[in-house]
Amino acid sequence: MTAPGSTAGNSAASRDKAFVLHPYTNLHAHETQGPMIIERGEGIHVFDDGGKDYIEGMASLWCVSLGWGEERLVQAATKQMRQLSTYHIFGHKSHEPGIDLAEKLIGLAPVPMSKVFFANSGSEANDTAIKLIWYYNNALGRPEKKKILSRQRAYHGVTVATASLTGLPNNHRDFDLPIARIIHGDCPHHYRNGLEGESEEAFATRLAEQLEALILAEGPDTIAAMFAEPIMGAGGVVVPPATYFAKIQAVLKKYDILLVADEVICGFGRTGNFWGSQTVGMQPDILTCAKQLSSGYLPISAVMVSDAIYRACVEESRKIGTFGHGYTYSAHPVAAAVALETLNIYEERDIVGHVRSVAPAFQSRLKALADHPLVGEARGIGLIGALELVADKATKTPFDPPGRAGALVNGLAQDNGLIVRAMGDSIALCPPLVISEAEIHQTFDRLTKALDAAVPVLRG
């Protein structure tokens, strides 16, 4: 029998167009353009179905820290598959991979944390954090204290609530979002949002003052928490001013507002410390992580909560009779076993030490591209960075229409065997953490070729 809609031929590309609804894709363009099919991976490289090799400069979606083909993770998954291929942890049930992983994460937390809740994605982890914050304030008898602060250009996920936290227009537009009680404050991007002649320090002070003004306007008793990525990722890789989080946190403390560190990208060594919170000086009440938790090999995420939040949840669940939240696959044993092995490898191979040893080469090649005629700003830290392409370097004037230059460089990089990610006209790089110094140079050599090839097209 022919499946509905299958007028297509038998090639994978035509079957893709016939059957797959792609995330984050121009679906109209896809109907003609079709997919790029990736067949296999090895180290920091992936190979398409024509055998062409690419440096995966984005570690897939900011996650494949250990690169492709890490046999120990394959073994950890296989072993666990054989022993207990799946089980849940609802209603007092448990299993060792989940217990071991929770214990391990609590031991690694950047500030004292009490308990770990497991989910399957960054979005689910952040969605869970919102629910815990609401539960917590109900437990404390503060039913009005429920609004959540986020920031313009933040990325916290795509569920109804977390897409609302995300501060990017395409995640809201025509999805009827954001939902109520979510407020977006300022993005700490000095290059774009700093005033003429304003130092980074003065910019951070102004943002903290603006945050306080926003809180006062909304009513401090109505604001429960603020979510923040240590370094903003999908919003264009924004590294905040050095004193930004110290100043922001002083304001939050003053009004008894919780801080959630979204470590979905920054966690596990990306910024040169084990947690992004350590790099930027965040002391979160809740920490969410995913992606590099399992080197992206299996879907798993975690929410770590402070003892105060955990105690409030205990009290609510005693009153109600249960803690009415959980996913079928919370702490899935195979995903948990792979995550645990990932964390063991990080320790044994001193992944943070490795990031620190190669980050200077990465950052110096990145920052050197600030001199390129198309680049307005080169920004980054550790093994994450972005180049913002501009039409005029002196005036910082963006290209018109927005996104065309980014898409062009993205395509040219791909032609040159490098996968990057264009976020508007910012080109992001976030390679596997195991990248060597020689591979960093290859990455930037390919990127430079792509940028050079874009000059005549964009400058005519």
The residue within the footprint of ligand PLP, chosen from 122, 188, 382, 406 (CB under 6 A), is 122
x/- letters, 282..301, toward ligand PLP (CB under 6 A)? --------x-----------
Query: Maximum distance among all alpha carbons in the chain?
Result: 69
Report the nearest approach of ligand PLP to the CB of residue 201 (Å): 26
**For residue 23, how many other CB atoms are within 10 A of its CB?**
7
Of the candidates 170, 234, 156, the residue with the CA atom closest to the CA atom of residue 27:
170
DSSP letter for 292, please. Answer: G
Q: Is 147 helix (H, G, I), strand (E, B) or coil?
A: strand
Report the nearest approach of ligand PLP to the CB of residue 150 (Å): 11
Stretch that binds ligand PLP, among 97-105, 149-157, 218-226, 449-457 (CB under 6 A): 149-157
x/- letters, 74..113, toward ligand PLP (CB under 6 A)? ----------------------------------------
CA distance 432 to 435: 6
Report the nearest approach of ligand PLP to the CB of residue 219 (Å): 28
The residue within the footprint of ligand PLP, chosen from 105, 215, 259, 264 (CB under 6 A), is 264
Stretch that binds ligand PLP, among 69-77, 107-115, 151-159, 451-459 (CB under 6 A): 151-159
Q: Is 379 exposed, middle or buried (0-12, 13-18, 19+ CB in 10 A)?
A: buried
The residue within the footprint of ligand PLP, chosen from 56, 70, 212, 229 (CB under 6 A), is 229
Report the nearest approach of ligand PLP to the CB of residue 121 (Å): 3
CA distance 228 to 173: 22
Report the nearest approach of ligand PLP to the CB of residue 38 (Å): 18
Would you tell me the crossing angle of helices 333-348 and 351-368 to the nearest 10 degrees?
A: 80
Are 249 and 273 in contact by the 8 Å Cβ rule? The answer is no
Are 343 and 108 in contact by the 8 Å Cβ rule? The answer is yes
The residue within the footprint of ligand PLP, chosen from 265, 337, 389, 447 (CB under 6 A), is 265
Stretch that binds ligand PLP, among 155-163, 191-199, 205-213, 323-331 (CB under 6 A): 155-163
Would you tell me the crossing angle of helices 404-415 and 437-459 to the nearest 10 degrees?
A: 130
Amino acid at 327: Y
Would you tell me the crossing angle of helices 437-459 and 351-368 to the nearest 10 degrees?
A: 30
x/- letters, 55..74, toward ligand PLP (CB under 6 A)? ------xx------------
- Applying CB under 6 A, which residues contact ligand PLP? 61-62, 121-123, 126, 155-157, 229, 233-234, 262, 264-265, 290
